Structure 1
Amino acid sequence: MSGKPTVSVETMIVKAPEAADFMRQFSNANRLMLLCQIAREECSVSDIQEALGIKQPALSQQLAELRQAGLVKTRRESRQIYYSIADGRAEAVMNLLFSLFCGVEATA
């Protein structure tokens, strides 16, 4: 077995727009850094802002886009909102990116 995918051209044609829309979420440097931070651990908005130095308006806009795309979810604790990865595909992509670009393997 060669290990190459055996997907029909018809399936690829149908799935390509969905895949492109999904991957678009990773194409913005701020969103990518947000996903990197959130993939490491659940984070509050203030934790993210402090770690990444992204200004509040840009941070809110990018988090809203990731929420709308279903890649992150929120949990409220008192007045703090915490973010975590909501989509297993996003977690898989982040693990691959950590491995390819940071030399870090995912931990169980």
Structure 2
Amino acid sequence: MSDDQAAAMGRLKDKAPQAAELLRQLANANRLLILCHIAAEERSVGQLEADLGIKQPALSQQLAELRQYGLVKTRRQSRSIYYSIADDRAQAVMGMLYEIFCGDGEAIAARAQHPAGASVRTADASARPRGDAAQFARVTPVARR
């Protein structure tokens, strides 16, 4: 194992408990729904209850857990409390989950086919086809440092 690989393994071991806790928080369907719903924009408790169909006591319990772990933040406006995502890691995971489960799947398939460290470049805007014509990308390996 090279020094770089050993250092990466050390970072992985240090961060594994944090990753496991984040995944534990996301493993509850109601918390996942809440985070998905507030990933796009902040919502009040009343909006969350109406939109998600989660009754207020259960909603409050899940929001308290998300707050305790620092995944959501609150903002008070008059008598309403608004929730939004507070953790960039959770925001990134929610984006990826949305892409996988709610998106069209093309971006995930493209990512799976391109190796890590490769960049996808498209032709400049003036050369792009118009209308519904297919657009192709050139995959170029990125030099590793």
Aligned residue in 2 for 1:16: 16
Q: TM-score normalized by structure 2?
A: 0.65
Secondary structure of 1:103's aligned partner: coil
Q: Structure 2 matches for 1:1-108, cutoff 5 A?
A: 8-103=8-103
Letter in 1 for 2:52: L
Provide the rounded CA distance (Å) in 2 between the counterparts of 1:11 and 1:41: 33
Q: Deviations over 1:54-89 (max 9, x none)?
A: 011110000000011111100000000000111111
Percentage identity across paired residues of the two chains: 62
Provide the rounded CA distance (Å) in 1 between the counterparts of 2:87 and 2:23: 13
Q: Which has the higher contact order (CA 8 A, sep 6+)?
A: 1
Aligned pairs, number: 100
Q: TM-score normalized by structure 1?
A: 0.86
Task: Give the deviation of 1:40 after TM superposition.
Answer: 1.8
Measured on the aligned residues, the alpha-carbon RMSD in Å equals 1.5
Letter in 2 for 1:88: D
- 5+ residue gaps, structure 2: 108-145
Task: Give the deviation of 1:12 after TM superposition.
Answer: 1.5
Letter in 2 for 1:56: Q
Secondary structure of 1:25's aligned partner: helix
- 5+ residue gaps, structure 1: 1-5
Provide the rounded CA distance (Å) in 1 between the counterparts of 2:8 and 2:76: 43
Letter in 2 for 1:33: L
